[in-house]
Amino acid sequence: MPATTTPHAHGEATPHAARRIEVGRDQLPLHCPMPTMSLWNSHPRIYIDLSTSGHATCPYCGTEYVLKEDA
Protein backbone atom coordinates (compact mmCIF):
# COMPACT_ATOMS: atom_id res chain seq x y z
CA MET A 1 0.00 0.00 0.00
CA PRO A 2 1.33 3.49 -0.75
CA ALA A 3 2.39 5.84 2.00
CA THR A 4 -0.55 7.55 3.63
CA THR A 5 1.18 10.83 4.37
CA THR A 6 3.53 13.16 2.55
CA PRO A 7 6.62 14.24 4.51
CA HIS A 8 7.51 17.91 4.70
CA ALA A 9 11.01 19.36 4.87
CA HIS A 10 10.65 19.69 8.65
CA GLY A 11 9.68 16.04 9.17
CA GLU A 12 6.00 16.80 9.62
CA ALA A 13 3.37 14.88 7.68
CA THR A 14 0.40 16.10 5.66
CA PRO A 15 -2.65 14.15 6.81
CA HIS A 16 -4.60 14.58 3.58
CA ALA A 17 -2.03 13.76 0.91
CA ALA A 18 -4.06 12.78 -2.15
CA ARG A 19 -3.45 9.24 -3.36
CA ARG A 20 -4.94 6.47 -5.48
CA ILE A 21 -5.87 3.18 -3.82
CA GLU A 22 -7.04 0.04 -5.62
CA VAL A 23 -9.48 -2.07 -3.63
CA GLY A 24 -10.91 -5.53 -4.16
CA ARG A 25 -14.51 -6.62 -3.81
CA ASP A 26 -13.57 -8.32 -0.55
CA GLN A 27 -12.91 -4.84 0.92
CA LEU A 28 -16.48 -3.63 0.27
CA PRO A 29 -18.34 -1.84 1.69
CA LEU A 30 -15.55 0.71 1.55
CA HIS A 31 -15.13 3.65 3.86
CA CYS A 32 -12.63 6.48 4.12
CA PRO A 33 -10.45 6.80 6.01
CA MET A 34 -9.48 3.13 5.84
CA PRO A 35 -8.28 1.39 9.04
CA THR A 36 -4.75 1.01 7.65
CA MET A 37 -4.32 4.75 7.03
CA SER A 38 -2.28 6.75 9.48
CA LEU A 39 -4.09 9.68 11.03
CA TRP A 40 -7.28 7.69 10.49
CA ASN A 41 -9.29 10.13 12.51
CA SER A 42 -8.41 13.17 10.40
CA HIS A 43 -11.92 13.40 8.92
CA PRO A 44 -15.32 11.78 9.60
CA ARG A 45 -15.81 8.25 8.29
CA ILE A 46 -17.84 8.18 5.10
CA TYR A 47 -18.79 5.27 2.89
CA ILE A 48 -17.56 5.34 -0.70
CA ASP A 49 -19.81 3.89 -3.42
CA LEU A 50 -17.88 2.17 -6.19
CA SER A 51 -20.83 0.22 -7.60
CA THR A 52 -21.76 2.63 -10.39
CA SER A 53 -18.48 3.49 -12.09
CA GLY A 54 -15.84 1.44 -10.27
CA HIS A 55 -14.09 4.54 -8.93
CA ALA A 56 -14.80 7.43 -6.60
CA THR A 57 -12.99 10.21 -4.76
CA CYS A 58 -13.31 11.02 -1.08
CA PRO A 59 -14.76 14.54 -0.78
CA TYR A 60 -12.76 15.20 2.41
CA CYS A 61 -9.20 14.13 1.59
CA GLY A 62 -9.21 13.59 -2.17
CA THR A 63 -8.14 9.95 -2.04
CA GLU A 64 -9.20 8.22 -5.23
CA TYR A 65 -10.51 4.67 -4.83
CA VAL A 66 -10.55 2.30 -7.80
CA LEU A 67 -12.20 -1.11 -7.83
CA LYS A 68 -9.78 -3.78 -9.08
CA GLU A 69 -10.96 -5.92 -11.94
CA ASP A 70 -11.47 -9.56 -10.98
CA ALA A 71 -8.56 -11.68 -12.14
Cβ neighbours for 21, distance < 8 A, ≥ 6 positions apart: 1, 2, 34, 63, 64, 65, 66
19 three-class SS = coil
User: Structural domain boundaries of the chain?
Assistant: 6-67
Q: Hey, is 25 helix, strand or coil?
A: helix
Give the least confident one: 9-13, 35-39, 41-45, 54-58: 9-13
Say whether pTM exceeds 0.75. Answer: no
User: 2-32, pLDDT tens digit by residue?
Assistant: 444 444 344 444 555 568 999 999 999 999 9
